[in-house]
Amino acid sequence: MDLILARDDRGAPEIFRSIQGEGPSVGRPRTFIRLSGCNLHCVWCDTAYTWNWWETPFAHERDTPGAPHKFDRVHEALRVELADIAAMVAALPSEGVVITGGEPLMQRAALPALIDALRVDQPALRIEIETNGSIAPPQDLADRVDLFVVSPKLAHSGNDAAVALKPDALAAYAALPAAMFKFVARTPADVAAAADIARQHAIARGRVCIMPEGTDSAVLDSRALLLSDAIIAHGFALSPRLHIALFGAARGV
């Protein structure tokens, strides 16, 4: 069995060890596995190299005349056997693994076997999955995951709400104690939209964080300030993007 992974700048599978820069595990050492492919098409996506192929029609904010922010699937994605992924992760030991993307749940059928392979030599290895929350987790996956970081995409992402905000999928994550929610926001209105979703699905405020959108520290700082009153009013947490401050907007960090 194999999975389709993104590639790093050297063309190798994007598996790396770093400090988690955002969400509930911020600051913790983690080994990351970045899967290729996404069912959404956020106009500000910072990992568009996992889905925005040349042959697709999707717009991106980094498009410029004559130079769309597009990528060659052949050069950006590769199939890797589960045993090889497990060996690469074992060579980068840390207290937990983050399976991210793209949208990892697009390859959900293979994820339980991947997690089992990762835990062969480390049965207590912590497994976290970052997802856009539009695909409900199968039970055999939910049973194996310590933390889902669910990031429903709001209107400013440019996605159709009917595709990005699936009530059944959100309800499934809301019912999972192992799921926390991380909303990307640009304005206080986005925080209000996140609060509406939390209210609709009875998600306690302690399970919600708001993360400013951006790939530049100055933009992130100014947006965090802009969002702070609304975050306080709703009783949410503010998530930084620590990896941007530490390493910049690069792959494999």
Contact positions vs ligand SF4 (CB under 6 A): 38, 40-42, 45, 47, 50, 101-103, 132, 153
Q: Which long-range contacts (CB under 8 A, 24 or more apart) does 140-144 make?
A: 140/112, 141/108, 141/111, 141/112, 141/115, 142/176, 142/178, 144/111, 144/112, 144/115, 144/116
CB of 240 to ligand SF4, least distance (A): 17
**31 or 134: CB nearest ligand SF4:** 134
CB of 87 to ligand SF4, least distance (A): 26
**94 or 213: CB nearest ligand SF4:** 213
CB of 146 to ligand SF4, least distance (A): 21
CB of 229 to ligand SF4, least distance (A): 25
Q: Which long-range contacts (CB under 8 A, 24 or more apart) does 245-248 make?
A: 245/21, 245/217, 245/220, 246/19, 246/21, 247/18
**45 or 145: CB nearest ligand SF4:** 45
**117 or 151: CB nearest ligand SF4:** 151
CB of 15 to ligand SF4, least distance (A): 17
**86 or 213: CB nearest ligand SF4:** 213
CB of 54 to ligand SF4, least distance (A): 16
What b/e string do you get for 48-81 counting C-beta neighbours within 10 Å, with b at 16 or more?
Answer: bbbbbbeeeebebebeeeeebbbbebeebbbebe
Which of 168, 170, 130 is closest to 50 using CA atoms?
130
**49 or 236: CB nearest ligand SF4:** 49
